[in-house]
Amino acid sequence: MIFCVLMCGGKGTRLKKTLGSDIEKPLVKLKDKPLIEYVITALIQSNRFERIFAAVSSNTKKTSEFIKLNYKDNVTLLETSGIEYSEDYLKIVRYFKEAKNGERHGVKKILFLPIDIPLISVEILAQLITLSQVKPCLTIVLEKGFVKGIGVLPSSYDFIIDNKDYCYSGISVLDIGKIDMDINNTAERIDLFEEEYKILNCAEIACNTNTLEDLEIAEKYLGNL
């Protein structure tokens, strides 16, 4: 059983600097639709996920209302703090690891997706959930040179493997059965999860929209898809 969790509770600081402090990143318009609508539509059309969740917070109250109004039958809201990504991530993992009404949720894998990749396609989603993994967390990364080559400003969270620069896509696949954690231990940290990397250099993932320039690039690619 595969679930998907959309991470949409962040502050969206970079876009707010140019679009205004009252803007919520998931609701920023690309052409005529909010970013989050592109991602949810792809997830529903893929028909690959038992359930779809959206991790929201006090930072994204309008987003919560948008989901309730438009996708209440397709997307379940999860409340998180929205203070720090890793803290929200752990809260979600605990939610699925703990017993509910005496039974487990039954989930085997969880695909974590950011909402700022509006070009994500049904085909890419199918590829992501069929990737083999040995360790609990499979993290999708891109070559930094590839990301810069399409004009997108790479994430500041980059790293080096074998003398080559990579950056995170914000996408990961968690095999919940391989995670051994004490759900009541608040000291548990996300970096305790064993992690492996998969390189996927494709524009659909690289076009994450953190700036107005990124939105323009995504719009250009959207017209070519």
pLDDT in tens, 23-81: 899 999 999 899 999 999 999 999 999 999 999 999 999 999 999 999 999 999 999 98
Backbone φ and ψ of 156, nearest 5°: -70, -15
Please give the single-letter amino acid code of residue 135.
Answer: K
pLDDT in tens, 124-137: 999 999 999 999 99
Question: DSSP string covering 170-193, please?
Answer: EEEEEEGGG----TT-TT--GGGS
Beta bridge pairs of residue 140:
198
Q: Which of 94-103, 180-189, 191-200 has the highest mean pLDDT?
A: 191-200
Q: What is the pLDDT averaged over residues 89-112? A: 75
pLDDT the model gives residue 42: 97
Burial of 9 (0-12, 13-18, 19+ CB in 10 A): buried
Cα dist from 163 to 26, 132, 139, whole Å: 35, 25, 19
Extents of the domains making up the chain: 2-222
Backbone φ and ψ of 75, nearest 5°: -130, 130
**pTM given for the model:** 0.89
Domain range 2-222, CATH architecture: Alpha-Beta Complex (3.90)
- Cα–Cα distance for residue pair 41/11, rounded to 1 Å: 23
